[in-house]
């Protein structure tokens, strides 16, 4: 029997997507389904793990139907997932103890503040490459153990499983046989040593997490288990690729060499640079993370996140009612030749790296009587690009490398105006791939490599195709003026 396809399952923050690809990276079938967002209190965000699993089964079945394929045609499954979202369930039954606490959730902020006040952040940062922030999984897990009745006792007895969404999906796909995560997801928990690639006992003690609840840490492309008991797939299909969504996108963009970088423009924007086989400590407010581990080789990355990107366009649509649909923003922005001096700081949820200013708020600067909707729309697009410049400059300083080309993916990259302005500001080429679903591609690549469907990453690089390249055409003087106005506005946000 010829197994012709690789299945990529991309479990995101608002929807789940299954994609079936052939050896030439042609997408032959897709299934996508949104699921419920729960907001129990201000600052709290939760997901139902069982609903996530049901959405995965539905999407897989839909992708197979669209491709007119059978489950037995699948050679391997690669997973990618929303990172940091934290679940806890019974080891034997698979029943969740509580809804999963999502990466956006801020309920552990007081505990993080207490750890900072005790002077713990430098040690944590040195061990993990992360900052003490509710964003990451470790403090969410502590919260569940402390607040769900009986959880800590059951965890200590070994009857509970902790996992990020990758771990939950593999556990369910393999009929409860595999409790495992990969290094890229483990590196986002505040619990794994960045260099040891193992759960760190001093961090477990700091967050009061018993070792018995933790999954095994594996590489990003290897056999984790075989499907068993699924509705949408037959038993025996290898689950062989796994990475957090941003690391998967870096891999999907074929950024295999140090200095290669990508930016994903979604609700927020995430810039990652491959820094090679040794972690690079950031002095500029970035995070150091594991990109992936294949065989005995680990690749690290620097990461910078902007909390608001596509969400700013959604705000123009839903909040200000300036456009009817998000794709209308480019046409509106093109009604003017420039912003008319207006600068927008997209701090609608504070500022992330490299500023880390949760108190910052969004700002339009430079408005006068001549300002119209076109100026505001153009300023919003430019504000998204300007904050990426801050991240890119921080990466250049930390890594000591220039970015030779800037690969982009995500929904907003279809906006030619935004992409050209980004190339102008960065003074480097911005490359949009033929397939902009880089997260799913990365998951598929990792899964396929794990079973020999593709023989090496170089085979993937040869298959990767650019759709359009944006080359810089802005003068140094104009670029400096834009960046100066931006930095003045950020100080006021």
227 and 266: one domain?
no
pLDDT tens per residue, range 63-103 = 999 999 999 999 999 999 999 999 999 999 999 999 999 88
Of the ranges 179-193, 251-265, 344-358, which is most confident?
A: 179-193
pLDDT tens per residue, range 177-217 = 999 999 999 999 999 999 999 999 999 999 999 999 999 99
76 and 211: one domain?
yes
Q: Could you identify the residue written with the tokens 């009929």?
A: 175
Read off the pLDDT band of 311 (50, 70, 90).
confident
401 and 380: one domain?
yes
- Between 422 and 459, name the one with better pLDDT: 422
192 and 235: one domain?
yes
pLDDT tens per residue, range 469-488 = 999 999 999 999 999 999 99
39 and 138: one domain?
yes
Read off the pLDDT band of 23 (50, 70, 90).
confident
Instruction: Find the range with the poorest average confidence among 265-274, 360-369, 458-467.
Output: 458-467
263 and 143: one domain?
no
Q: CA-CA distance, 27 to 75, in Å (whole number)?
A: 15
Q: What CATH number has the domain bearing residue 417?
A: 3.30.420.40
Give the residue from 245, 265, 286 where a domain finishes. 245
> What per-residue confidence (pLDDT) applies to 424?
94
Q: Could you identify the residue written with the tokens 């907003």?
A: 412
Q: Which domain holds residue 120?
A: 5-245
- Using a pLDDT cut of 90, give the percent of the chain over it: 68
Give the residue from 192, 213, 245 where a domain finishes. 245
167 and 313: one domain?
no
Give the residue from 245, 267, 287 where a domain finishes. 245
Read off the pLDDT band of 285 (50, 70, 90).
confident
Average pLDDT over residues 364-375: 93
> What per-residue confidence (pLDDT) applies to 332?
94
> What per-residue confidence (pLDDT) applies to 25?
82
> Residue 310 pLDDT > 90, yes or no?
no
14 and 124: one domain?
yes
> What per-residue confidence (pLDDT) applies to 361?
85
- The reported pTM is 0.88
Q: Total structural domains in the chain?
A: 2
Read off the pLDDT band of 123 (50, 70, 90).
very high
- Mean pLDDT for the chain? 91
> Residue 336 pLDDT > 90, yes or no?
yes
Average pLDDT over residues 382-403: 89
Three-class secondary structure assignment of the chain: CCCCEEEEEEECCCEEEEEEECCCCCEEEEEEEECCCECCCCCCCEECHHHHHHHHHHHHHHHHHHHCCCHHHEEEEEEEECCCCEEEEECCCCCECCCEECCCCCCCHHHHHHHHHCCCHHHHHHHHCCCCCCCCHHHHHHHHHHHCCCHHHHHHCCCEEEECHHHHHHHHHCCCCCCEEEHHHHCCCCCECCCCCCECHHHHHHHCCCHHHCCEEECCCCCCEECCCCCCCCCCCEEEEEEEHHHHHHHHCCCCCCCCEEEEECCCEEEEEEEECCCCCCCCCCEEEEEEEECCEEEEEEEEEECCCHHHHHHHHHCCCCCCCHHHHHHHHCCCCCCCCCEEECCECEECCCCCECCCCCEEECCCCCCCHHHHHHHHHHHHHHHHHHHHHHHHHHHCCCCCEEEEECHHHHCHHHHHHHHHHHCCEEEEECCCCHHHHHHHHHHHHHHCCCCCHHHHHHHCCEEEEECCCCCHHHHHHHHHHHHHHHHHC
302 and 395: one domain?
yes
Average pLDDT over residues 440-452: 93
234 and 279: one domain?
no
299 and 331: one domain?
yes
> What per-residue confidence (pLDDT) applies to 350?
77
238 and 273: one domain?
no
């Amino acid at each position: 029997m010829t197994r012709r396809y690789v299945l990529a399952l991309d479990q995101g923050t608002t929807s789940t997507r299954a994609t079936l690809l052939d050896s030439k990276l042609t997408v032959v079938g897709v299934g996508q389904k949104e699921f419920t967002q729960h907001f129990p209190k201000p600052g709290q965000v939760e997901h139902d793990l069982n609903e996530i699993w049901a959405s995965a089964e539905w999407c897989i079945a839909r992708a197979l139907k669209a491709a007119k394929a059978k489950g037995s045609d699948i050679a391997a499954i690669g997973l990618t997932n929303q990172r940091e979202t934290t679940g806890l369930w019974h080891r034997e039954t698979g029943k969740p103890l509580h809804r999963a606490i999502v990466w956006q959730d801020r309920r552990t902020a007081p505990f993080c503040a207490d750890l900072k006040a005790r002077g713990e952040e430098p040690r944590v940062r040195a061990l993990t490459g992360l900052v003490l922030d509710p964003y990451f999984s470790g403090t969410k897990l502590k919260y569940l153990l402390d607040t769900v009745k009986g959880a800590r006792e059951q965890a200590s007895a070994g009857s509970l499983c902790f996992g990020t969404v990758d771990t939950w999906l593999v556990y369910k796909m393999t009929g409860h046989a595999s409790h495992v995560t990969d290094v890229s997801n483990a590196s986002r928990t505040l619990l794994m040593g960045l260099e040891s690639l193992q759960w760190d006992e001093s961090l477990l003690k700091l967050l009061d997490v018993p070792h018995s609840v933790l999954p095994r840490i594996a590489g990003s492309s290897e056999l984790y288990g075989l499907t068993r008991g699924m509705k949408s797939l037959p038993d025996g299909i290898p689950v062989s690729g796994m990475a957090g969504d941003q690391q998967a996108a870096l891999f999907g963009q074929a950024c295999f060499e140090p200095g290669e970088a990508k930016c994903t423009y979604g609700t927020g924007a995430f810039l990652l640079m491959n820094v090679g086989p040794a972690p690079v400590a950031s002095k500029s407010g970035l995070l150091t993370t594991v990109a992936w581990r294949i065989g005995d080789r680990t690749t690290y990355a620097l990461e910078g996140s902007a909390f608001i990107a596509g969400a700013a366009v959604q705000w123009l649509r839903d909040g200000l009612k300036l456009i009817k649909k998000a794709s209308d923003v480019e046409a509106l922005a093109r009604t003017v030749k420039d912003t008319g001096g207006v600068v927008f700081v997209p701090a609608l949820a504070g500022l992330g790296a490299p500023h880390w200013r949760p108190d910052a708020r969004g700002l339009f600067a430079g408005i006068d009587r001549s300002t119209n909707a076109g100026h505001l729309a153009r300023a919003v697009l430019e504000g998204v690009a300007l904050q990426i410049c801050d991240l890119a400059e921080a990466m250049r300083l930390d890594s000591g490398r220039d970015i030779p080309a800037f690969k982009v993916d995500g929904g907003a990259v279809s906006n030619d105006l935004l992409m050209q302005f980004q190339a102008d500001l960065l003074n480097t080429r911005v490359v949009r791939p033929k397939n902009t679903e880089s997260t799913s591609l990365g998951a598929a690549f990792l899964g396929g490599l794990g079973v020999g469907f593709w023989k090496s990453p170089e085979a993937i690089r040869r298959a990767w195709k650019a759709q359009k390249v944006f080359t810089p055409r802005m003068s140094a003087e104009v670029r400096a003026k834009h960046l100066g106005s931006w930095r003045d506005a950020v100080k006021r946000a």
